[in-house]
Amino acid sequence: MLYPLKLRQNPNFINTFLFMVLWVGLPLFVKGQATQKPVLHAKHWLAITGKPLAATAGAMAFQKGGNAVDAACAMLAATCTMWDVLSWGGETQALIYHPGTGEVIAINALGVAPTGATAAFFQEKGLKYPPSFGSLAAVTPGTPGGLIVMLKEYGKLSLKEVLEPAMEMAKGYPIEAQTANAIEGDKDKIKEWPYSKAVYLPHLGEDREAPYAGEIFEQHDLLNTLQKMVDVEQEALKAGLSRQEALQAAYDRFYKGDIAEEIVRSTQEQGGLITMQDLADWQVKIEEPLHVNYKGIDVYKLQEWTQGPALLQSLNILENFDLKGMGYNSANYIHTLYQAMNLAFADRDFYYGDPAFPPKSPMKGLLSKEYAKERAKQIGEVNDPWANPGDPYPFQGEENPFKEKLIDYSKNYFKYNEDIDEDVSDSFLQDFTAGTTSIEAADKEGWVVSITPSGGWIPAVIAGNTGIGLSQRMQSFVTDPMVNPFNVVEPGKRPRVTLTPSLALKEGKPYLAFAVQGGDTQDQNLLQFFLNVVEFGMNVQEATEAPNMNSYQMQAAFGNHEIKPGAMTLQSETPSWVRKDLRNRGYTMDFRERTSGPINAIYFDENHGTMWGGSSNHGEDYGIGW
């Protein structure tokens, strides 16, 4: 029997008195608080992701004898097919714990800027950043390659077995209201691209042109593309090739064969730049992750082509404070978190970029405990709206080649983006917090997978007759080295992305796997989730639902890369005395009923040899365990 994480409605979610106690920060009442979803307990395996149907795809992979890698790939394929605000032309970032070696492995399946995508190219079009939508927003597709490489290196099942649920869904699945309504809301943009219009708008010319909620949504071109990859795999197996060779054949058909040809033809037809050479040259990278130790727990993130190290920097800074003594979500606690993230994100905005291209980011210095101590000293009693990037180079024995750029950096950035509106509008919040999905999987053999895939969200340019929506990740580049000399767009380079899965080990064994969607808010919510567990003793479900603070005092990775000094979102039940204290410290606040973000997580109970699953009540995320 399968046990789903069903949303359990509880009108007495947390009574008023308990909320007051939580907000003044008495740790006694943090543990054992009521949750809207139950903890998911499992002995054999867990599969958690952004949609119930996709979690079921993960369960199906386990039932076929697959491991956590197979299940994660099945969920990835399903979420892309369901357009869980991502698609097959997007990017995949993963951390995998290998029980045989005890190592954490990083998967870099982010696409690159295509031929001709230079800073000068976009500047000549009057753009400070590459566009947010359209064919010029696309990096090369990464998810198909990432999925196949993970299967080839660490999985057990065939591509055919793993893609079976996604292919069944491509034949037609009952589309959810969230996706259907997003299509309807973006239909004017979708009509600019002929192949997108044909897929997304089955009722063209009617009052509602998008699918209705519950309508069977068919994607015949995508099904054909997936079938082509499965066919070449099965032909290779029949010819006596190994499982790995057969999977490589499927990979090659996508990136070098007829699928690639159609992607290139149709992308260029719609004004894009991707070439056959771009696809053939691109490769998935298997990397070493970065990590720091926080109070005996090793926390792992992807390298600086993501924002993940900002969480590690924040932990290093916060280690210098008595967070538990401040009290959960007290004014002092919220202020200290805000300022620690303020400093870490200032470094992110200037120093992070693709490590395969010069200049090389000073990550050794940025992640040093000594550098964190110096940054911690900069935290005062009020908000610092103009916190500059620090100078980590001396902490790795080098001279900073960009020292002059750091003088009044934040104020100069505001001048550069002089058209930025400082008000926190509803549209800004919607864009800033928009997310795709996250995937967590674990099994009794010890495999653990954490993935934050993205790209190709609605409205996406669909690449001809492939049914594949192209990424919009190019917009995360900059075109002026004054903004970030490490992240200037150039062909073959990966943009610095917000996508950031997480793994934590304790005494060398899996302790937590956690991830969340939500753009620049991801590492903010994940940091608070981690502290909820480690500092305040919450179980995994309590920690996913607990109220968070979100800051907007960093450069957004999308659109016009806006920044909102002093702005934050808090939970709507925040007490008046906490609000008053924070206003006096220089903050402006807005309030929401739920602020955790859609976090998905797994906690490993070493005492009992079991797994605890958590899936936030923020969205439609869902888990299944056995």
At residue 554, φ and ψ (nearest 5 deg) are: -155, 165
Candidate from 32-46, 101-115, 513-527, 574-588 with smallest mean pLDDT: 32-46
Does 397 have pLDDT greater than 90? yes
β-strands 567-571, 588-592 pairing = parallel
- Single-letter residue type at 421: D
- Asked whether the beta carbons of 237 and 245 are under 8 A apart, the reply is no
Determine the average pLDDT of the residues in 343-349.
98
* Winning range, highest mean pLDDT, from 35-39, 78-82, 408-412, 517-521: 78-82
- Single-letter residue type at 57: A
Determine the average pLDDT of the residues in 377-399.
97
Determine the average pLDDT of the residues in 76-89.
94
Does 435 have pLDDT greater than 80? no
Task: Give the pLDDT confidence score for residue 19 in this predicted structure.
Answer: 30
- Asked whether the beta carbons of 448 and 441 are under 8 A apart, the reply is yes
Task: Give the pLDDT confidence score for residue 329 in this predicted structure.
Answer: 97
Q: Residue 216: pLDDT band by 50, 70, 90 thresholds? A: very high
Does 23 have pLDDT greater than 90? no
Does 24 have pLDDT greater than 90? no
At residue 352, φ and ψ (nearest 5 deg) are: -90, 145
Q: Residue 433: pLDDT band by 50, 70, 90 thresholds? A: low
What distance in Å separates the CA atoms of residue 141 and residue 264, rounded to the nearest whole number? 11
Tell me the pLDDT of the chain averaged across its residues.
92
- Asked whether the beta carbons of 87 and 460 are under 8 A apart, the reply is yes
Task: Give the pLDDT confidence score for residue 620 in this predicted structure.
Answer: 84
| Strands ordered across the beta sheet of 588-592 | 550-551, 567-571, 588-592
Among residues 35, 34, 30, 43, which one has the least CA distance to residue 3? 43
Tokens 């936030």 correspond to 616
Does 387 have pLDDT greater than 50? yes
Does 16 have pLDDT greater than 50? no
Q: Residue 425: pLDDT band by 50, 70, 90 thresholds? A: confident
Candidate from 74-88, 187-201, 324-338, 424-438 with smallest mean pLDDT: 424-438
Task: Give the pLDDT confidence score for residue 22 in this predicted structure.
Answer: 31
Q: Residue 421: pLDDT band by 50, 70, 90 thresholds? A: low
* Winning range, highest mean pLDDT, from 283-297, 403-417, 549-563, 588-602: 283-297
What distance in Å separates the CA atoms of residue 353 and residue 405, rounded to the nearest whole number? 17
Does 27 have pLDDT greater than 50? no
Domains assigned to the chain:
305-432+549-566+576-592 (1.10.246.130)
pLDDT digits (tens, 9 = 90+) for 165-186: 999 999 999 999 989 999 999 9
Q: Residue 419: pLDDT band by 50, 70, 90 thresholds? A: low
Tokens 């009044």 correspond to 408
- Percentages of the chain per state (helix, strand, coil), in multiples of 5: 40, 15, 45
pLDDT digits (tens, 9 = 90+) for 470-501: 999 999 999 999 999 999 999 999 999 999 99
